[in-house]
Chain A
Amino acid sequence: MAKSLLIISRQSPWSGPGAREALDIVLAGGAFDLPIGLLFLDDGVLQLAAGQNARAVQQKDLSANLQALPMFGVEELFYCAESANARGLGKLSLDEAQPLAAEHITALIDRYDQVITL
């Protein structure tokens, strides 16, 4: 049985390579058929803001890439409800992501064999 892996992505989409690196790990894990989960925490929830425009800053479209996660076999998608509220996020761009309260995030981390926080 392959070890399960939880990636906690907590960098904003435009601040540096952190958000992209977290996604790359998840996509690679999905391609290897690993049981893999992705949690957006802190500024990481900003990756889920609807209506972002990557072209305005000539970058790759991270939001579009995130939509591909279910295709890559990554179905366990979560975000911290508190982080999203604190940042005034309303509609999110990733329908599959489920909001979690802090105590459920503690339980989520417990459930996985390994955790990587980026």
Chain B
Amino acid sequence: MNSITVGARAIELDKDGFLVDLSDWSAEVASALAAAEDIELTPEHWEVLELLRSFYAEFQLSPATRPLIKYTALRLGADKGNSLHLNRLFKGTPAKLAAKLAGLPKPTNCL
């Protein structure tokens, strides 16, 4: 079984590195997951992660790329809600990687 150690705890991950138990998520877990992807979370990352968590709370699903961009544009404006910005922050796969770091299930229909 895949896992990541945060503090003294081993957090269980699935084969793609997503949390098995979504309630394990915390800011520390997010940072540890990001570090495993060679990403240091900046305020720009955090605002997207928070946005994803609010998307999930509202719609009970993880957004694919297009809805993520649309939702980000709606909430944070067009200068952040575009693929260039999101791809830069999340290594070219924003829907998948940002969902992972935000503690969401793996997006289905993820293209």
Residues on A lying within 8 angstroms of B by beta carbon are 24, 27-28, 30-33, 60-61, 64-65, 67-68, 71-73
Q: Is B67 interfacial (CB-CB < 8 Å)?
A: yes
**Closest residue of chain A to B74, judged by CB?**
A71
Evaluate contact between B59 and A65: CB separation under 8 angstroms: yes
CB contact between B70 and one of A28, A32, A67, A73 (< 8 Å): that residue: A73
Seen from chain B, the residues whose Cβ lies within 8 Å of a Cβ on chain A are 55, 58-61, 63-67, 70-71, 108-111
A28→B110 CA distance, assembly (Å): 9
Question: Can you name the residue of chain B whose Cβ is closest to the Cβ of A33?
Answer: B66
Total A-B contacts with CB atoms under 8 angstroms apart: 48
Report whether A71 and B111 are in contact in the complex, using a CB–CB cutoff of 8 Å: no
Are B109 and A68 closer than 8 Å at their CB atoms? Answer: no
Cβ contacts under 8 Å, A30 to chain B: 66-67
Contact B58 A67 (CB under 8 A): yes
Residue of A nearest to B63 (CB): A71
Q: A24-B108, A27-B109, A31-B109 are in contact. Are A72 and B60 (CB under 8 A)?
A: no
Q: Which of A27, A32, A60, A61 has the most B CB atoms < 10 Å from its CB?
A: A27
In the complex, A64→B65 CA distance in Å? 19
Interchain CB contact (< 8 A) of A28 among B59, B60, B67, B109: B109
User: Can you pick out 29 interface pairs between chain A and chain B where the beta carbons lie within 8 Å of each other?
Assistant: A24-B108, A27-B61, A27-B64, A27-B109, A30-B66, A30-B67, A31-B65, A31-B66, A31-B67, A31-B110, A33-B66, A60-B60, A64-B58, A64-B60, A65-B60, A65-B61, A67-B59, A68-B58, A68-B61, A71-B55, A71-B59, A71-B67, A71-B70, A71-B71, A72-B63, A72-B66, A72-B67, A73-B66, A73-B67
Considering only CB atoms, which chain B residue lies closest to A63 in the complex? Answer: B60
Chain B residues contacting A64 (CB-CB under 8 Å) are 58-61
Question: Smallest CB–CB gap between B108 and chain A, Å?
Answer: 7
